[in-house]
Structure 1
Amino acid sequence: MDSTTGNAGYDALVVVSFGGPEGPEDVMPFLENVVRGRGVPRERLLEVADHYQRFGGVSPINAQCRQLIEAIEAEPAVGLPVYWGNRNWHPFLEDTVRRMKDDGVRRAAAFVTSAYSSYSSCRQYLDDIARARAAVPGAPEIVKLRHHYDHPGFVAAMADHTREALGRLPGGVRDAARLVFTAHSIPLTMARTAGPAGGAYEAQLRRTAELIVAEAAPAGRGTEREWDLVWQSRSGPPQVPWLEPDVCDHLEALHARGVGAVVLVPIGFMSDHMEVVYDLDVEAAAAADKLGMALTRAATAGVHPRFVAMIGELLAEPEPAACPATCCPRPRRDQGRGPGAEHGQE
């Protein structure tokens, strides 16, 4: 099959994700996998483990990956066997690549559960794929599909969810509600080196937000809906600068300016996993409640039909150009990537 015609000749699709614990006994081994080699203090692991134990030791991410795979398998535009492999928990990517090889797969596309450029959300997945293939003699070729932050399918899914969230606000505050788009904070040095020209992570997120606002959120009385891009889930040491402002700090700033209603839109995440259900639905919701601020959260893309159809559309595109080896380099150990990066970056 000729990739120049828009058919890159894949004979399988592998969904590559972060992974998450599925019971209380999984939590610490999972977190130890996440931070291996980073020197993260055990007290920090225990703090993050408490977040998972609050939800019975179960991250929603694996169940949501299963739901996504079921939806992909039913999507006519895909038409390929679908596999699934994780970075940090079962099913591990290396085991999945071994099964693909045993099944006779020769050339697969990889759909990674992150839409953006950065070390954790792109380069590290390329490294994961390379490492898994190196461990399996005769492994199939695996081509990572392109970043989909501006794909109309992703935008349409998030626009629908944003409209739904706006509709849940009381009518008296809906027209003036501010949209607050959130994504996982990363160290500034990582953010500045994301993408071939640097700075792609934040620029791509801003573009996603602009597209969603244009499609989903005209304000009342013909005015443009006000919005912000803020950050969440920081997990590094305080002396290392990360992207700011933090979502909870930003809610306080908005309240001081008289903003009374907010819709949180977690565009940095593909599913409602732990860093959404805890950092937003627990911590940010508590901050808003303390301030007396009306707050709702938009759902993530999940299994929205346009998002699922998008994966079939990505498969039909010509093979994406390979990222240069210097793109999104591995951060230094002292940049302090902590255990909370369940963001594909998860």
Structure 2
Amino acid sequence: MKFLDYAKVYIRSGGGGSGCVSFRREKFVEFGGPDGGDGGNGGSVWAEAVDNLNTLIDFRYQQHFFAKSGQPGMGSQRTGKTGDDIVLRVPMGTEILDEDEETLIADLTTPGERVLLARGGNGGWGNLHFKSATNQAPRRANPGQPGVERTLWLRLKLIADAGLLGLPNAGKSTFLAATSNARPKIADYPFTTLVPNLGVVGVDGREFVIADIPGLIEGASEGKGLGDLFLGHVERCAVLLHLVDGTSETVAEDCETILHELEAYSPELAAKPRITALNKIDALDDETLAERRAALEEVAGGKVFAISGVTGKGVTEVLRALQATIGAAREAPEEPEPWQP
């Protein structure tokens, strides 16, 4: 299945049916009076989050969603049939944006969460509603209310507890494969990972989800390489794991490159809790490891873990640090919104 995290859709709710102008006509009934029924309501367009989807690929092949209109009213006080609703099934973590691609309409993060995108038009009144003592034979009825037509954007941001960051070939996919049942593509050339991957990781009897995104390079915020299009998938993470290739002779510069691209993309994302790890230490001797670890600690401004995704050395300690940070972030009470009159 192909991965798609951005899609444009065109929706239109159904219009309401027109009211009916009708009069009762029965044998031996001298004054039948009006009996025109109301039109049926038009169908609405909804969006619902489901937990068995992880891509918006379905919306590449179908972009137009039109709900049915209500049927017109009929004689004998018969109301027209209501149009059927349409439900857009989207993955959890989908944001719904207006046509300007900036105005957020809804953020669906829990299974079964629904939002009304376009309400169906009301059905028009039949002439029965206009009967009065002074107008006992009204010959007017209301037309149905037209439907609502909108153009919307769907943007998927995967829901994960931790996110992997790093330059291409930093060992992110190897780390994900070594710690979870995920099987991302692993090769010895840059940009092996072209789409985000998710993996469920367990440590000390507890589980959490890690998201691996394609590697960033210098100038990603300007569109170089694969750009920063996939950084949105780690915005929901409680902690970021920054992997640095230990075999690189410029580990400090590599770390600064990722930090700069994070800041250029979003200061809020750059301010998230971050754990830094020097990867591929199985290819380093003790002296080189100590030297590069010290250089990396100076840039990262804190402790740097030394790990090897291939041999598994130091991986458990990193997972425990991630789990502790995730637990602290999830249990922290949310700050109440300031009171407004």
TM-score class normalised by the smaller sequence: under 0.3
* Higher normalized strand content (fraction of residues): 2
Query: RCO (CA 8 Å, sep 6+): is it higher in 1 or 2?
Result: 1
**Which of these two proteins has the greater Rg computed from alpha carbons?**
2
Give the helix-richer structure, 1 or 2. Answer: 1
